[in-house]
Amino acid sequence: MKKTQIVLLILIMASIAVLISVFGDFSSYETFASAAKEPKKSYYIIGTLDTAQGMHYDPKVDANHFTFFAKDKSGSKNKVIFNGEKPRDIEKSEQIVMMGYMDGDTFHCSKIQMKCPSKYKKDMVAVGNNG
């Protein structure tokens, strides 16, 4: 092989390695049950707000603590603790995408993305505090 072919082959291999390292951490949406199999590991869970169970947010006591119940795509309901202020209009969202981890029967959420019902509104994202 010529030196240029060897160098080109090395560059291609290096670029493939970079692509794998950059895109290899993407995950698919999980359910509460599958996230519970590996506690403390971060997952994305897509679901809907369960308004029948109620929500708790008292900014006078703790402005960075919002608790609610969500139903995942398999129909399982779990308590969710979001370490941030209550996202505006979360009740109106069609779906919510939550990023966080399971700890026992509770999902600790650090980021919420709300899918708005109108195609003219952009998705809204709420980011919690790490702590």
Report pLDDT digits (tens) over 24-39. Answer: 555 578 999 999 998 8
Q: Say if pTM beats, i.e. exceeds, 0.85.
A: no
Higher local confidence (pLDDT), 15 or 127: 15
To the nearest whole number, what is the mean pLDDT of the chain? 85
Domain boundaries, the chain: 27-127
Split at pLDDT 50, 70, 90, the class of 120 is: very low
Q: Region 105-110: what's the mean pLDDT?
A: 93
Q: Which CATH architecture has domain 27-127?
A: Beta Barrel (2.40)
Higher local confidence (pLDDT), 27 or 120: 27
Residue 13: phi and psi, rounded to 5, are -65, -40
Number of H helices, E strands in the chain: 2, 8
User: With 80 as the cut, is the pLDDT of residue 121 above it?
Assistant: no
Strands 77-82 and 43-49: unpaired
